[in-house]
Structure 1
Amino acid sequence: MSSSSSPKQLSWRAHYWQTIALSLPLVIGQLASIGIATADVIAMGQISSHDLASGSLAARFYQPFYFMGLGITLATGPIVAQGLGGNDPRLVRRAFRQGMVIAVMLALIAMPFVMVGDVVLVWLGQDPVISAHAKDFLFWSAIGLPFMFLFFVLRQFVSSHKKPMPQVIATIGGLLANILGNHICVHGYGPIPPMGLGGIALSTTIVYLLICIGLLIYIGMTEPYKSSKPFQRLWIMDWDITRRIFVIGIPIGCTIVAETGMFIAVVFIIGLYGPVPLAASAIANQIAAVAFMVPLAIGQASTIRVGHFAGANDRHNISRASWSAVWVGLGLTSLIMIYLFAQSEFLIDLFLADDDPMTAAVATFAIPMMIITALFQCGDGTQAITISALRGLNDTRVPAYIAIACFWFIGVGIGAVGAYAFDFDPVAIWGCLLIGLMVASVALTYRLYVATRRITRGGAILSQ
């Protein structure tokens, strides 16, 4: 029944507060999650700018595999939320079970490709010395992929119950453990030898293993999760749900890889200019990634809330859940933009060692890159939230086309043409990200507007 005549329709004020209430712990969890990666980047910079350039280049290489796995496993979230909204525990259990199987399978496929990344980087024209130095880092990063991908599914399952705190606490614990682990594995302690750059990846791998063990035990022993019998018949394949996860998840993965790939491609282009601008772009990229966790968490909240209302066939609350998240996100990303403008030099200094002879040169490139990073906050946040709300409706294919077109043909395309045909400097190439993100923001906002108007007027709720 349409919610226009239903007493269950929520006011705009209620939607704003419920979006904020669900987003807040998700923001903390996302910041803790990106904090693990940020601690890794800081640890690289504290070794040397050479290690920072090498480690960040290696991270850019394995991230397409990482984010494709993230995107496909994200499909478990809206399916679980729709099952919960429709009071269908069987769907909840099946989506979770198949999500875990798919996560491990994808990781096993990706591992050998990541392990040979040092060779591929040379083929891509990167500095052979910098690429060779990343070999151990890539090896241990590959070993950690199954635990990372499994964590994505566990996080989605817990958060889709609108109870995200367990995964938040687990991730915060992982962040603290990773900071300590980085120090031990990089410099050595007791029987552990100094491992340098490779030790950073080993520490992260161990941390994600421990997080997965903790969440699996928690889900199996705690309500409301254990009521759906999440591990029942774990070894049985459910091909219908597997197909559904891939149909929804592959476009999500392509969308995420398109956006992150835009950053990665731009970093690869900047890497052709040498280690100094490459290190600077690594700093700007990591700060942008940390800032992105706020709209990303709001987007996750919108996926969960929209998915619940979609499962309950609640039309008008779908629209309000979507747009309340967009407006909350715009407010918060505006504040982030102001902060990045005001504190850019302070943030850059966190990533650089005082006694490194390259520090001043790196900062010269990093400061204007940070200004551009501040400018694209609102656009980046809006596209992330609108596309997340559409995921709650299983609308992933067309948004993927929009994202690929905006990020690659516009963002990367202009950067590549500028670099090779017009001799753009590294800062101008970084600025091309702003153009791609703003165009994507406008296009995806319109897509969400069309979808919510259709649903409110009685059209189909789920796209697939």
Structure 2
Amino acid sequence: MNKTMTYPGHFRAIAILGLPLVGGHLAQFAIGLTDTVMLGWYGVEALAAVTLASSYFFVLFLFGAGFGLAVMPMVATAAAEENETSIRRSTRMGLWLSLIYAALTMPLLWWSHPILVALKQEPQVAQTASEYLRVAGWGIIPALLVMVLKSYLAALERTQIVLWITVAAALVNAVTNYALIFGNWGAPELGVMGAAIASVVTQIVSLLCVVIYAVRVLPEHSLFQRFWRPDWEMFASVLKLGVPIGLTLLAEVSLFATSAFMMGWIGKVPLAAHGIALNLASATFMIHLGLSNAATIRAGNALGRRDRAHLERGAIAVTVMSLAVSILTIILFLTCAEPLISLFMEPDNPQRTQILAIGSGLLAMAALFQLVDGAQVIALGLLRGLQDAKIPMIMAALSYWAVGIPSSYYFGFVQGMDGIGIWLGLVLGLACAAVLLMARFWLRSVRTVAASAG
């Protein structure tokens, strides 16, 4: 019946599946946003340090998240084939790989200070960021496990629970932050370290919630029974798909992390403005990311059913939805820049005028890359649904490392455009990725599903 689904039917199905995922991503984003807003109230130096630390953390986290994202299309395809055993096997080995990766990254989080200094960050900002990472870094273990289990639930179209668990985590983070950063309700005033503790507590609460749900509501998958038993065949399959997905994520996040390091070379006020503008741009990106996840699930289902028409119509529908979001965001960023930036600062902040001036320019650049940023993440979602990851990884690496990062440096420092130039490089890298990845999907989708049918 899906072969004859109309475009309105696709729009409706994507919205039902995708809106809770969008909400979940926004709630997850709210965790970082809460840190940024409260630390912005606490002080510019604290905000600059956590902006730097967060960029460093997410470079490591998002590579590991590739294993969780690999689970999503594998479970979606297995569900379409009604293969319960494959659902359990892929999810369990995704958890294994996430645990192994988290253990390997802990030394980089614990001894981050010399790395940040080598990247020529201001000494005091680097010191504070490294202290934050020594605590917040432990959160990478539960965070990666949560990524796998959320992908498992989303692929089974249980997106409502993913949303509510993430909302609960965001509330826990906000309350813990408010208590520990400022010393409210009798708690000690810990500043940056309070934000780090809140981050770890939040990730642990998320993990407990998602594990309890999976065990109680989906006992048929027995995810944690004999968890220690290896499944090397499926381990290799998840690794084969997860590594290129992780490297693709790493390529993109390293583009943004490098931009944060470059902003740090200019000074802590531009770095703070960059953190604010990037948080606002990231908020809208969460909508595209939720739609991309929905695209992955529906493409994986289409692959499992060998349904080419369903795949192509769904791809057109989700791309149109992403385009509509981009247009609305462009209007918002161009007309409401100062009110949006002001949300992150106290009215009497002495650097307020400088941050507003720099941040408004950066938001104008963010408006430029909305279209291409949305397009590239939708294309990636569709390709992941087809379990096509190696060539997209190469395309992403070329776009972000060969085009985006050099362009940021060239326009920012050689041409003397400072922050605006750095963000222009982001635009060019994302635009290159969007063109290459969309071309890859539309040239490959017919062949992939046709071949699987044969």
Q: TM-score, normalised by structure 1?
A: 0.94
Is 1:236 aligned with 2:203?
no
**How far apart in 2 are the matches of 1:66 and 1:206?**
17
The amino acid that maps onto 1:313 is: R
**How far apart in 2 are the matches of 1:255 and 1:383?**
11
- C-alpha spacing 1:7/1:75, structure 2 compared with 1 (3 Å): closer
**How far apart in 1 are the matches of 2:185 and 2:13?**
49
User: Percent of aligned pairs with the same residue?
Assistant: 28
**How far apart in 2 are the matches of 1:455 and 1:67?**
27
What corresponds to 1:283 in structure 2? 276
Q: CA deviation at 1:323?
A: 2.3
**How far apart in 1 are the matches of 2:142 and 2:198?**
13
The CA deviation string for residues 345-398 of structure 1, in whole angstroms up to 9 with x for no partner, is 111001112222111111111001001111211110010001110001110111
Is 1:322 aligned with 2:315?
yes
Q: CA deviation at 1:49?
A: 0.8
TM superposition outliers: structure 1 runs of 4+ over 6 Å: none
The amino acid that maps onto 2:76 is: A
The CA deviation string for residues 274-318 of structure 1, in whole angstroms up to 9 with x for no partner, is 111111111111111111000100000010111112112222212
The CA deviation string for residues 421-455 of structure 1, in whole angstroms up to 9 with x for no partner, is 33332222212111111121111111111012324
Contact 1:307 1:392 (C-alpha < 8 Å) held by counterparts: yes
The CA deviation string for residues 210-260 of structure 1, in whole angstroms up to 9 with x for no partner, is 1111111111111xx222222232111111111111111111111111111
What corresponds to 1:76 in structure 2? 71
Contact 1:58 1:118 (C-alpha < 8 Å) held by counterparts: no
What corresponds to 1:127 in structure 2? 122
**How far apart in 2 are the matches of 1:367 and 1:189?**
32
**How far apart in 1 are the matches of 2:221 and 2:56?**
38
**How far apart in 2 are the matches of 1:455 and 1:111?**
39
- C-alpha spacing 1:322/1:233, structure 2 compared with 1 (3 Å): farther
The CA deviation string for residues 160-207 of structure 1, in whole angstroms up to 9 with x for no partner, is 111111111011011111111101111235674221101101101101
Instruction: Please point out which of 53, 58, 61 is paired with 1:63.
Output: 58
**How far apart in 1 are the matches of 2:67 and 2:397?**
16
Correspondences of 1:60-209 after superposition (within 5 Å):
60-189=55-184, 192-209=187-204
What corresponds to 1:247 in structure 2? 240
Indicate the SS of the match to 1:272.
helix
Is 1:442 aligned with 2:442?
no
The amino acid that maps onto 2:190 is: M
Unmatched runs of 5 consecutive residues or more in structure 2: none
Contact 1:329 1:382 (C-alpha < 8 Å) held by counterparts: yes
Unmatched runs of 5 consecutive residues or more in structure 1: 1-5
Size of the aligned set, in residue pairs, is 454
**How far apart in 2 are the matches of 1:43 and 1:119?**
27
The structure richer in helix per residue is 2
The amino acid that maps onto 1:62 is: F
What corresponds to 1:361 in structure 2? 354
Contact 1:73 1:245 (C-alpha < 8 Å) held by counterparts: no
Q: CA deviation at 1:43?
A: 1.4
What corresponds to 2:15 in structure 1? 20
**How far apart in 2 are the matches of 1:139 and 1:190?**
25
What corresponds to 2:261 in structure 1? 268
Correspondences of 1:287-366 after superposition (within 5 Å):
287-366=280-359
Q: TM-score, normalised by structure 2?
A: 0.96
**How far apart in 1 are the matches of 2:453 and 2:359?**
45
The amino acid that maps onto 2:176 is: G
- C-alpha spacing 1:447/1:418, structure 2 compared with 1 (3 Å): same
